[in-house]
Structure 1
Amino acid sequence: MFDRVAAKYDRTNNVLSVGNAPLWRVATTKAVDPKPGQRILDVAAGTGTSSASLARSGASVVAADFSPGMIDVGRRRQAHVPNLVFVEADATKLPFDDASFDAVTISFGLRNVNEPKQALAEFFRVTKPGGRVVICEFSTPSVPFVRFGYNAYQRYVMPPLVRLSSSNDTAYDYLNESINAWPDQRTLAAWIRGAGYVDVAWRNLTMGVVALHRAAKPVPPGE
């Protein structure tokens, strides 16, 4: 499915988010707080738009995605970024050594993983002690009238926008289904804590349409 939408994926995201996608990307990059010399893993990186934003800090960024089509588009579009590499990878079975990244991040991809808790366990495994995880994902608006308006947007406005902007509008039928089936902020925080992370926190973006979760991998005693 993602191979089929790769060509116009970024444009469609900008249209469907009503211009909010770049703002969410900025918030995520700030939360990751990449530094020169650090190694960052961006999972479900798609065409690497978020990965390139992280790489501008001087950090070494690995953009991992399950879709060969997304990676192919990403490698072409981000060819000018020297400290960014693309790797085809399954989020539930990452091809990286233990404790090999200073930070792991995923934006709008965790809900697309068949076993999200297994993915979180893999994120924890490859995060260095003291490192961090940042997850940006659609969530549950906390205010009733915002939930009502968001549901109406998904039902009546999003379908025609998809037909206008996407390279494969039928693939986006899955989008609303996956968003509506995804757990709320508190539940995701519990999953992250269950994977082993500590200091789990989140903040809502766009009144809870999106939530940004953050956590750290504890440092073993004596290290």
Structure 2
Amino acid sequence: MTEERTTASGGMETAFGFRRVEEAEKQPLVNDVFHRVAERYDLMNDLMSAGLHRTWKDAMVSWLAPPRRPGFKTLDVAGGTGDIALRIVEASGRQAQVTVLDINDSMLTVGRERAEKRGLADNLAFIEANAEDLPFPESTFDAYTIAFGIRNVPHIDTALAEAYRVLRPGGRFLCLEFSDVNTPFLDKAYETWSFQAIPRIGRMVTGDGEPYRYLVESIRKFPNQQNFAAMMRHAGFSRVTWRDYSGGIAALHSGWKI
């Protein structure tokens, strides 16, 4: 692919995949993608990660290590289907309280249904809102998590500033995202899989390949590990680090509000 990744200085706000759009256009376009894939969201992640996203999400929650005591409050952003939130509640021995925030009501509907079926509705709150304008006072949460969502936020710097604001001093930010493959030969194989296979499979399975094309293009545009870490530091986070998974197909970034 000839498209270059955006850098720590920005660029995702006008990138809808490889298309350049007006800033005001991007959020409605992204919303439409997720309305179209909401009921097949887990399948989408299975296609895009060959099923590995489940292992990466388990690793994310393991690194968070939610305490098995009442009072631990997590905000899970762009987590409408509850995939991360349900893991956090279970890992805490059903002690944690997780607020699931998503801009897309179709995704939230899936999450509410899953929480009810698992008997965890009392531990979860589902809120429709924008990651760039969180409806919470500052210093509200012990942790902020976001998995495979931040690359779809038009103004990533604004979302990071909001994450920092709503975390309590000593609070932790964790972001799991598809990233820059840094393993020889795997990078070319993954790129071929992403751009040639995933949209075709998506079309065969769901009848609509275009949302999958956008999603793989958005992965290719997202800042690499070093640049995203720089964005986190600029937002105020300390002790910023990351772990690569599967040769950099995904990366899990961690930072603290100190």
Report the counterpart of residue 96 of structure 2 in structure 1. Answer: 59
Is the CA contact (8 Å cut-off) linking 2:173 and 2:255 kept in structure 1? yes
Question: Deviation of residue 21 (structure 1)?
Answer: 1.3
Report the counterpart of residue 192 of structure 1 in structure 2. Answer: 232
Query: Could you tell me the TM-score, scaled by structure 2's length?
Result: 0.81
Question: Deviation of residue 172 (structure 1)?
Answer: 1.7
Report the counterpart of residue 68 of structure 1 in structure 2. Answer: 105
Deviations 1:95-129 (A, max 9, x none): 01100000001000000000001000000000000
Report the counterpart of residue 60 of structure 2 in structure 1. Answer: 28
State whether structure 2 residue 43 is matched by structure 1 residue 6: no
Deviations 1:63-110 (A, max 9, x none): 100001111121112122120111111000000110000000100000
| Aligned residues: CA RMSD | 1.2
Is the CA contact (8 Å cut-off) linking 1:62 and 1:84 kept in structure 2? yes
Distance 1:156 1:167, change over 3 A: closer
Greater shift, 40-49 or 154-163, is seen at 154-163
State whether structure 2 residue 58 is matched by structure 1 residue 18: no
Greater shift, 111-120 or 52-61, is seen at 52-61
**What percent of counterpart residues are identical?**
40
Report the counterpart of residue 173 of structure 2 in structure 1. Answer: 133
Distance 1:195 1:78 in 2: 32
Matching residue's letter, 1:207: G
Is the CA contact (8 Å cut-off) linking 2:242 and 2:253 kept in structure 1? yes
Is the CA contact (8 Å cut-off) linking 2:37 and 2:44 kept in structure 1? no
Deviations 1:188-207 (A, max 9, x none): 00000010010000010111
Question: Deviation of residue 10 (structure 1)?
Answer: 1.2
Distance 1:162 1:215 in 2: 34
Show structure 1 runs of 5+ residues with no match: 219-223
Matching residue's letter, 2:86: A
Report the counterpart of residue 248 of structure 2 in structure 1. Answer: 208
Distance 2:44 2:206 in 1: 6
Report the counterpart of residue 179 of structure 1 in structure 2. Answer: 219
Question: Deviation of residue 44 (structure 1)?
Answer: 0.2
Query: Could you tell me the TM-score, scaled by structure 1's length?
Result: 0.94
Query: What is the number of residues matched between the two proteins?
Result: 218
Distance 1:77 1:168 in 2: 24
Query: SS at 1:133's partner residue?
Result: strand
Distance 1:146 1:166 in 2: 27
Report the counterpart of residue 15 of structure 2 in structure 1. Answer: none
**Runs of 4 or more consecutive aligned structure 1 residues displaced over 4 Å after TM superposition:** none
Report the counterpart of residue 221 of structure 1 in structure 2. Answer: none
Distance 1:168 1:86, change over 3 A: farther
Match of 1:143 among 183, 204, 215: 183
Is the CA contact (8 Å cut-off) linking 1:59 and 1:83 kept in structure 2? yes
Distance 2:101 2:40 in 1: 19
Question: Deviation of residue 167 (structure 1)?
Answer: 6.4
Matching residue's letter, 1:142: N
Is the CA contact (8 Å cut-off) linking 1:98 and 1:126 kept in structure 2? yes
Distance 2:213 2:48 in 1: 13
Query: SS at 1:45's partner residue?
Result: coil
Distance 2:50 2:135 in 1: 35
Distance 1:70 1:21 in 2: 18
